A and B are shown apart, each in its own frame.
Chain A
Amino acid sequence: MEKNQRRTFLKYSLAASMATLTCGACGSGDQSEEETVKVLTTDGQLVEVPKSNVKSAPCHGVSPSESRKGIPGKKFVMVVDLSRCRNARKCIESCEKYHEIPPDRPFIKVLKMQDNNESSPYWMPKKCFQCDNPPCVKVCPVGATYKRSDGIVLIDNIRCIGCRFCMSACPYSARVFNWGQPPEKDPECAYSPETSIPTKVGTVEKCDFCPDMLRQDKLPHCITACPNGAIYFGDKVADVISNGSEVLRFRETLKVKAGYRYLEELGTEPNVYYLPPVNRLFPFDETPQEGGI
């Protein structure tokens, strides 16, 4: 009876995120026949269980055909406050974790930028700009990458033929390619272009604005991961952006802080805006900085 009950608990509690977190601590000594994972139980023990026992986390990404439609009535925008970024790289880490991407091809980069020799360098977090005149979507021969009504550009890696024309076309180098075979794992959820999981060899990937989170009215992972609240995300239709703690009006913020879009002259009409790196919270420092304010 006791044992039985515990089993039920296990089934419930062995959630995906937990498994990865705890497994980071457990080392890799065991090589049993069946693949196992270490998980945290309800009674606080680290136990090792067959992978087949692990119940999956709820899936929010929708099917490839459904993912072409977009979330109705929304137009998503991102605003990056360059005065707040100190290259803490938490956005990159959280993105890697939730999209299960290896560190060698991140969706987000924090670039060291210097406009000219006299001006001070600054850090510029860069994701996909989800352009309204998207070069990548224009050139795709098979419609594997597409623009949705909510402004998000996604990739269907079941349709992608791996021609990499979109990578050549993108002036922001936002796209990465699965050059090799991704590590094999049993996917928790069915493939959805909204999560970009699981990855497939020979296809293109990029930052997707986490539509699976947006469907739950939650912010993308990189936004909430930033210790300095440097990245705001929101809905242009509702004229609002949030960095997880602070909620601002989108247009007013751009107006007051002289927001701009990177390489406006290319005519790609990005949906990612930048606030100039003035009155910075931190002095520029080359070494990666832990933590926030």
Chain B
Amino acid sequence: MIAYFRIFTLVIFIGMLIPVHYNAQDKLRPRLSFSYLKDGNAERYLKVKAIARIDRKSTPITRVPLKFYFIEISEENFLGTAETDMDGVAQLLLPDKFYDLSKGKTEFKFITVLEDQDNYRDVDSDITVYESALELDLTEEDGEKIVKARLFRIDSSSAKTPVEDAEVKILVARPFGPLPISEAGEVTDENGALSTVFPDDLPGDETGKVNIIASLEDSDEFGSVRTNQDIIWGLEAEFDDKTLKRSLWAAGANAPLGLLFFVNSLIIATWGIIFYIIYQIFLISKHK
């Protein structure tokens, strides 16, 4: 699932520019962009991108630890620490502690802190999101494959309220990012639903399996919410490994048979004559 997360590069950008006091030695102003992501089928993540401007260029701050808290900065609300990677991105999979702390709550406030590092003052950023549910229905009607996504807000009594006018997208997982199959800019109806027809000519894996995704991105209310489901709806992937065939561009071991035959017979014929002649020279030397 984490790998899956990487595919999904759409990040909510609700980062705040924290004014930092800095003295003469300070040359950098860290900026944190903080986002929340809920994967309906699995887990929830907090993600922070830390950058600084150096020579008017945005430069990721790599390998710094960021601390995460729920509601307020305190020892008992501490969720965990994550370190930024080479792109300055730190990601925290919300631990079980979060589910304990948030029991009965449907409004979540998260805080992230880049702790004092000699020359920085504390830099922090926070976001607030509401609990949601994104559901995916895959049905076949009259030979058409219909994908239907529905978005609900969950209140404290666990009741579901359909969310209207939300920009939910339906996508299919692909390498280098999922492919949208719903119309751009389409929003949910009064039932919180949005549907699209799955194209009948899209390849899946070797068995035709595809992974269909419903996704709400960049939402102030809910953060990023996503859900996905596998189904055998795609065409079976056709992969032709031409490197295994004999060709002029293949490896030496895969040379065309005709060429091998031609070249080798010429070599054998010519060198046969050469060795015959060398043998004759030997015969000359044996004469008395």
Contacts and interface: CB of A to CB of B under 8 A. Distances in A.
A–B touch (CB < 8 A): the answer is yes
Contacts of A218: 176
A13 B83 CA distance: 10
A235 B204 CA distance: 12
B174 A13 contact: no
Contacts of B54: 21-22, 25, 40
Interface string A224-242: 0000000001110111101
A290 to B, nearest CB: 13
A73 interface: yes
Given A18-B59, A57-B86, A249-B202, A146 B237 contact: no
B62 A18 contact: yes
A242 B238 contact: no
Task: From A18, A138, A238, name the one whose CB has the most chain B CB atoms within 10 angstroms.
Answer: A238
A237 B210 CA distance: 13
A22 B53 CA distance: 11
Contact of B243 (A13, A74, A147): A147
Contacts of A216: 6
A146 B118 CA distance: 52
Interface string A26-57: 00000000000000101111100000000001
Contacts of A235: 174-176
B239 A73 contact: yes
Interface in A48-78: 57-58, 68, 70, 73-75
Interface string B106-137: 00000000000111100000000000000000
A217 B6 contact: yes
A43 B176 contact: no
Interface stretch (A109-117, A129-137, A199-207): A129-137
A93 B153 CA distance: 46
B176 A44 contact: no
Given A15-B62, A21-B59, A238-B203, A133 B176 contact: no
Interface stretch (B25-33, B185-193, B275-283): B25-33
Given A18-B59, A21-B54, A247-B177, A143 B252 contact: yes
A183 interface: no
B40 to A, nearest CB: 21
B255 to A, nearest CB: 11
B199 to A, nearest CB: 8
Interface size class of A (residues with CB under 8 A): 35 or more
A24 interface: yes
Interface string B20-54: 00000111101000000000000000000000101
A44 B59 contact: no
B249 A138 contact: yes
A42 B175 contact: no
A242 B8 CA distance: 13
Nearest to B181: A249
A15 B86 contact: yes
Given A132-B242, A149-B241, A239-B202, A42 B63 contact: yes
B249 A147 contact: yes
Given A57-B86, A217-B7, A237-B203, A42 B64 contact: yes
B179 A24 contact: no
Contact of A46 (B27, B175, B178): B27
B248 interface: yes
B285 to A, nearest CB: 38
> Of A18, A46, A248, which is in contact with the most chain B CB atoms at under 10 Å from its CB?
A18
B27 A238 contact: no
Q: Which 4 A-B pairs have the closest CB atoms?
A: A43-B117, A44-B28, A240-B174, A137-B249
28 contacts: A12-B83, A13-B62, A15-B62, A21-B54, A40-B52, A44-B119, A44-B120, A45-B25, A57-B86, A58-B86, A147-B242, A147-B250, A149-B241, A217-B7, A217-B176, A235-B176, A238-B203, A238-B237, A240-B174, A240-B176, A242-B174, A242-B176, A247-B176, A247-B177, A247-B179, A248-B179, A249-B179, A249-B202
Given A40-B59, A42-B117, 13 more contacts: A17-B62, A25-B55, A43-B120, A44-B28, A57-B86, A138-B248, A138-B249, A143-B252, A233-B176, A234-B176, A238-B174, A247-B177, A248-B179
Interface of A: 9, 12-13, 15, 17-18, 21-22, 24-25, 40, 42-46, 57-58, 68, 70, 73-75, 132-134, 137-138, 143, 146-149, 216-219, 233-235, 237-240, 242, 244, 247-249
Interface of B: 3, 6-7, 25-28, 30, 52, 54-55, 57, 59, 61-64, 83, 86, 117-120, 171, 174-180, 202-203, 205-206, 237-239, 241-244, 248-252
